[in-house]
Structure 1
Amino acid sequence: MTLHAIRGFRLVTTDPDRLMRFYAAIGFAVGDTVRTGHGMRVRMQLGDTPVTLERFDRPGRPYPMAADAASSCFQHLAIVTDDAATAWALADKAGATPISRDGPVTLPASSGGVTAIKCRDPQGHPLEFLQFPNMAAAGWPGRGILGIDHSAITVADGTRARAFYCRHGLAEGKATHNHGPAQAALDGLDDPDALVVPLEPPISRPHLELLAYRHPPVVGEPPALADIAATRIVWDADEAGLWQDPDGHWHEAIAAPLSDTPS
């Protein structure tokens, strides 16, 4: 299977009404609700990227309470904003819980120089508000909450994960070594040390990032499809399918020729 582009994301929920209110409060457009063969979906959108809330008739497990930013199930959506502090204030008021310590953190230039804060939505899905040092140069002109830059997943073996995704058509970008006090504050962890590897599909936004921590967690049971932690990346690809990567993260591929993928 060759992956062409990220089409969107699916977040599993047992309370779509609550999450609809949360995401609307932070700038998502909420669309219609459709019935599926196994439950229901609520269509939302941020910028050019669709995000659906998915409720299963037979609900799975809640988000693991003990999971942190280095846990194998961790996967966040990185939401771009020109003001991370204001974005966090909106999310906090709407019911988010912080992962980061003491609000937005500015990382050193060696880690990208971004200002960011990590949090969770009311059902536990991790989010990151991301403010680039030069928004226009990063390709994100405008004001407010602008779109989704990437989804980041924690992996136990960075070399294995990189090889897996490159085999499926993604191109490895320049990695950064993220560590030190600012990274500790961002991740809400003591002494984190992570290699962050961007992986670009042929159509590059949003993209995927791998978070390979120096001290990888003990890999527990991967989430089942109906579990809250089972966020799915939806891809345009050369063939359709539903699959898990070597670390248990879920993916859904929709068959689409490269010429038909969104720009």
Structure 2
Amino acid sequence: MSLLRVARNVSDLDRLTAFYIALGFEPQGGAEADVPLANLLGVSALRRQRLRLGAQTLDLTACLPVGAAYPANAPGNASLFQHIALLTPDIHAAAPRALAAGAQPISHGGPVRLPPESGGVTAWKFRDPDGHPLEYLQRDAPPGYDHSGIVATRPDASLPVYAALGLHLQAEQLNQGPEQARLDGVPGASARILTLRGAEGREWSCSPTATPPPTRRRTRRTSPPTGWSSKARTPPCSATRTAISSKSPPAEPPPSHPAATALPWRRWFLPGG
């Protein structure tokens, strides 16, 4: 089991491609139509631009018709918050470059040095021009992804689903205090970090909703979520997809499994995402 790539729906393919190139991503050819993916997502047309950062791949996809915009100022404890953590050897040089390219800061006061009990790394969270969250982590390592993080409101219910996909819990820690609040841009933030890993590849970080959570009542959907066209079912621009590979097909939980429900417009409905 390994992470193949992360894909993000975007509103302006050219603009977002230029932004990620400024972050150090390299385009793999030009933008092209992807008919199989358009059919899978149920949209009339789709253009895809593939980029690479080190050994990792990012696909930017523009659907027609364009879906709803990423919710403005969605907090770091919102259940739609899925970020990619990028490695950089010099975060104090990388952050200004990102801002000059059009990034929107999430963290307060620039890069944050976390205490030893929270990993002891220097990190900075920000958004691309469409609002998708990203994070820089300063490490002496080749460029690429450190992890992909997902906020979950019901992490213990989600874990069996990820286990069926070949991702298993490797570590757990609690990040809290003023440094975490500055990093997440959420006053009083407290994050329980569950690290999942496959047999190979990068990590997935499953973070239960930070404290305090945004005021929101969550219910199971029985119809397509806001931002999807009733005809074409266009995915919103907040959508992020993570593609994983496996030598054998993952075990699928039964329809009655409490942690996953098959929906016509989405492979799985996961608690907290």
Superposition TM-score, scaled by structure 1 size: 0.84
Q: Contact 1:117–1:128 (CA<8 Å) still a contact in 2? A: yes
Q: 1:210 aligns with which of 206, 211, 226?
A: 206
Q: Contact 2:86–2:134 (CA<8 Å) still a contact in 1? A: yes
CA distance in 1, matches of 2:270, 2:21: 33
Question: What displacement does 1:175 show?
Answer: 1.0
Secondary structure of the 2:146 match is strand
CA distance in 1, matches of 2:202, 2:108: 27
Query: 1:124 — aligned with what?
Result: 131
Question: What displacement does 1:228 show?
Answer: 1.2
Aligned: 1:196 with 2:203: no
Question: What displacement does 1:168 show?
Answer: 2.3
Aligned: 1:11 with 2:8: yes
Residues 236-247 of structure 1: pairs in structure 2 closer than 5 A: 236-237=245-246, 238-239=248-249, 243-247=267-271
Query: 1:261 — aligned with what?
Result: none
Q: 2:47 aligns with which of 40, 45, 49?
A: 40
Secondary structure of the 1:191 match is coil
Q: 2:169 aligns with which of 162, 168, 172?
A: 172
Query: 2:95 — aligned with what?
Result: 88
Residues 1-263 of structure 1: pairs in structure 2 closer than 5 A: 4-31=1-28, 32-37=30-35, 38-132=45-139, 135=140, 140=141, 142=142, 146-203=143-200, 205-213=201-209, 214-217=211-214, 218=216, 219=218, 226-237=235-246, 238-239=248-249, 243-247=267-271, 249=273
1:186-233 Cα deviation digits (max 9, x unpaired): 000100111011100111x32210111344443377575621111000
Secondary structure of the 1:124 match is coil
Max Rg structure: 2
What fraction of aligned residue pairs are identical, expressed as a percent? 34
Gaps of 5+ in 2: 36-44, 229-233, 253-265
Gaps of 5+ in 1: 250-263
1:128-152 Cα deviation digits (max 9, x unpaired): 00114xx3xxxx2x5xxx1111110
Q: Contact 1:29–1:46 (CA<8 Å) still a contact in 2? A: yes
Q: Contact 1:74–1:154 (CA<8 Å) still a contact in 2? A: yes
Q: Contact 1:156–1:216 (CA<8 Å) still a contact in 2? A: no
1:6-40 Cα deviation digits (max 9, x unpaired): 10011101101101111111100012211022311
Query: 2:231 — aligned with what?
Result: none
Q: Aligned letter for 1:179?
A: Q
Secondary structure of the 2:194 match is strand
Question: What displacement does 1:245 show?
Answer: 4.2
Q: Aligned letter for 1:227?
A: P
Question: What displacement does 1:239 show?
Answer: 3.9
